Amino acid sequence: MKRHPFILGSEAIEVNKIKDIAESLTRPDDYLGEGTTKKTMTNNTTTWYASWFDTPFYHILYKDRDANEAHAFMDTLTNYLNIPLGGSILDLACGRGRHARYLNKIGFDVTGADLSESSINFAKKYENHRLHFEVHDMSKPFGKTFDAVFNLFTSFGYFENDANNLNTIKAIKADLNTYGFGVIDFMNSTYVIDNLVPEEVKTVDDIEFHLKRYAKDGYIFKDIEFEAHGELFKFTERVKAFSLADFEMLFEQADVHLLEIFGDYKLHKFDAKTSERLIMIFK
């Protein structure tokens, strides 16, 4: 049995191979996203986040994300920010566009941007005159301004080069118009570390995912091992365990003003010990 180590940084990554396997899985076509077949490996694919998030396995493992919760959060957030109907929103690191599509449905002009080509190809099926998707690296300004820029569901803190976390905040600021608000919806690292489930086996679509979670050197790691079509895979997610104080430092360096902090998707008050989320509104 072959082993595919999709681990951090510069280790060899056989992206074409994983796509071959994914294509042979007997699953709906959209597992790979429309139009996604084999692609030439680019420099982007040398980082864990560029490879793992671009595979169909990532979407299989997390397929049970709570859509109702995500939609209710978007209702609550857009009401709170008082974004006028038709207002423009950039969903930065949008994945397959679950928030972006809903925001468009409730009346906003939405752009979804993500590094993952296969996720964007999938999302593009839903485009209309007020919903667009683009492959884009969030550490760079998008080149257009919006009434709001959302970075949702812990889509921050992946970079190996720390400077790119700050660059992402600067890019969000550059993407906001005069009236615009930035929103980062991050995990509450303290809560996550205190409640870490060290080992778990999760079976989704007949794939048995073996998960190991641990905190080390200021990062939270999740090792993900599974077998698919007779091949063994291992990925490691690695997210910087930013605290509120860390974000405050980044905001200061980016000349961004933190306006409000919430601790969950209903926008309750943030509590450093008990809140599951760290949701920051800034401009």
Ligand X SMILES: C[S@@+](CC[C@H](N)C(=O)[O-])C[C@H]1O[C@@H](n2cnc3c(N)ncnc32)[C@H](O)[C@@H]1O
> Is the torsion defined by CA of 141, 144, 145, 146 positive or negative?
negative
- Closest contact distance (angstroms) between CB of 1 and ligand X is 28
Q: Give the shortest CB-258-to-ligand X separation in angstroms.
A: 21
SS3 content of the chain, % helix, strand, coil (to 5): 30, 30, 35
Give least dist CB 102 to ligand X, A. 11
| Number of residues in the chain | 283
Closer Cβ to ligand X, 93 or 184, answer by number: 93
Residues that bind ligand X (CB under 6 A): 49, 53, 93-95, 98-99, 114-116, 119, 137-139, 152-155, 158
Q: For residue 155, what are the CA distances in angstroms to 20, 65, 173, 215?
A: 27, 15, 16, 18
Q: Compare residues 215 and 227 and give the one whose CB is closer to ligand X.
A: 215
Phi, psi of 198 (to 5 degrees): -65, -35
Is 87 within 8 Å of 108 (Cβ atoms)?
A: yes
Residue whose CB is less far from ligand X, 31 or 53 = 53
Q: In what order do the strands lie in the sheet with 131-135?
A: 131-135, 109-114, 88-92, 146-151, 176-187, 277-282, 258-262
Nearer to ligand X, 120 or 267 (CB): 120
To ligand X, the closest distance from the beta carbon of 107 in angstroms equals: 20
Rounded to the nearest whole angstrom, what is the least distance from the CB of residue 114 to ligand X in the complex?
Answer: 5
Closest-by-Cβ residue to ligand X is 95
Looking at beta carbons only, is 152 or 267 nearer to ligand X?
152
